[in-house]
Homo-oligomer: A and B are copies of this chain.
Amino acid sequence: MRLSDTIESFIKELLGESEEDGVELKRNELAEYFQCAPSQINYVLSTRFTPDHGYMIESRRGGGGCIRIVHVQRSQSDFLDYLIRERVGASLADKDAQLLTRQLVESGTITREDGLMIAAALSPQALAVPVPEAVKSTLRARILRSMLLNIARRNQRVKQSAATALIRIEHT
């Protein structure tokens, strides 16, 4: 079995055990444990724990530094999932972004407030920096995806807490 897969399983086990939905790692400790180069850990993270895989990574350098991995639960059927994975591709023209945002609001997939926030973030004024249009398109796609992922997470939390509330009610 490939080392990367072993490390991947190891991290996923840690995530499974942890009470919250995240774990904290020391890159060097992990590399030591698996007898590999520290950068191998980065490789595993960048190929198997990306936002598209449903993970978010935070890290700190320097003394006491560490890597934090958070698992974002997403439902297969969710329309937002489809958007994040398929509809919003690697690049997005300004017109398309505006259109898509409007459609999302009108279809009730996201709220009007969220739609306005997205529009603000993707507005031509906000992105008025001297870079080629191709780069801007990539940027639009990435920002939109990131924001939609955040909304999906929020919905998940709402669902979860609603479910928890329901369970509490049933238990009384």
Q: A residues near B, CB below 8 A?
A: 1-2, 5, 51, 63-64, 113-114, 116-117, 119-121, 123, 125-131, 135, 138-139, 142-143, 145-147, 149-151, 153-154
Contact = CB atoms under 8 A, between A and B. Distances in A.
Contact of A117 (B5, B127, B130, B150): B150
Given A1-B64, A64-B2, A147 B127 contact: no
B150 A120 contact: yes
Contact of A143 (B116, B126, B138, B149): B126
28 contacts: A2-B63, A2-B64, A113-B154, A116-B150, A116-B153, A117-B117, A117-B121, A117-B147, A117-B150, A119-B150, A120-B143, A120-B149, A121-B121, A121-B143, A121-B146, A121-B147, A125-B142, A125-B146, A126-B139, A126-B143, A126-B145, A126-B147, A127-B142, A127-B143, A129-B139, A130-B135, A131-B131, A143-B143
A128 B146 CA distance: 11
Contacts of A119: 150
